């Protein structure tokens, strides 16, 4: 029988990205819409671990969670671990305004996937994609900061100008999920 992973997320975009990656490894994935704590912390690893432990406590199942952030070099890594809050408050336009007179557009997305079984410690997997913040929003696909981020190897397209398959060729989340899936199929 093939493997199954339970992915705790309320974000259907993240779930679809995960489904696509897991299908490469013949791992079926179920979306668990359990609301987990999202602590404020300066480290996305700590956020992922807290969320994994909380999800396991609520569901008593082996759980996969994922936490990500956008780190902008000229802003000393801001919004980083605060990406979710920044997206909800000032949004994509707010970040573009902060970057208005800044020439250095370098940024990266970092994703941490945490897997946790009941009564065990979470195990973490990482993925990172280097890129740039563009000057104007482009594209309608995806979510979050996708319209303003272009990966270095993406031919100049923003993530929001890519379909899911193309984004998954480059994305931080796909890299972290692949690292997890390679380990998981050997368990």
Indicate which single residue of 68, 99, 107, 177 sits in contact with ligand IMP (rule: CB under 6 A): 68
Could you tell me if 133 and 99 are in contact, meaning their C-beta atoms sit under 8 angstroms apart? yes
Instruction: Give me the least distance between CB of 30 and ligand IMP, in Å please.
Output: 19
Phi, psi at 144, each rounded to 5° = 55, -130
Could you tell me if 177 and 22 are in contact, meaning their C-beta atoms sit under 8 angstroms apart? yes
Q: Which stretch binds ligand IMP (CB under 6 A): 29-37, 68-76, 150-158, 175-183?
A: 68-76
Q: Does 132 bind ligand IMP (CB under 6 A)?
A: no
Cα–Cα distance for residue pair 183/78, rounded to 1 Å: 31
Instruction: Give me the least distance between CB of 165 and ligand IMP, in Å please.
Output: 14
Beta strands 3-8 and 27-32: pairing type? parallel
Is residue 101 part of the annotated active site? The answer reads no
Residues taking part in catalysis: 67
Binding site for ligand IMP (CB under 6 A): 11, 67-70, 83-84, 87, 109, 142-146, 159, 171, 173
């Amino acid at each position: 029988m093939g493997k199954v992973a339970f992915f705790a997320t309320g974000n259907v975009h993240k779930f679809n990205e995960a489904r696509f990656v897991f299908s490469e490894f013949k791992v079926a994935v179920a979306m668990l819409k359990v609301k987990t704590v999202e602590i404020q912390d300066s480290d996305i690893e700590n956020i992922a671990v807290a969320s994994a432990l909380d999800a396991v406590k609520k569901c008593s199942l082996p759980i996969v969670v994922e936490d990500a952030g956008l780190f902008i070099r000229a802003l000393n890594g801001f919004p980083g671990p605060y990406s979710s809050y920044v997206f909800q408050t000032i949004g994509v336009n707010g970040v573009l305004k902060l970057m208005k007179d800044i020439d250095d557009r370098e940024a990266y997305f970092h994703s941490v996937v945490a897997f946790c079984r009941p009564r065990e410690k979470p195990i973490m997997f990482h993925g990172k994609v280097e890129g740039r913040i563009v000057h104007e929003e482009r594209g309608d696909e995806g979510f979050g900061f996708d319209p303003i981020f272009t990966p270095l190897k993406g031919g100049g397209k923003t993530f929001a100008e890519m379909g899911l398959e193309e984004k998954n060729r480059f994305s931080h989340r796909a890299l972290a999920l692949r690292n997890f899936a390679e380990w998981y199929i050997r368990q």
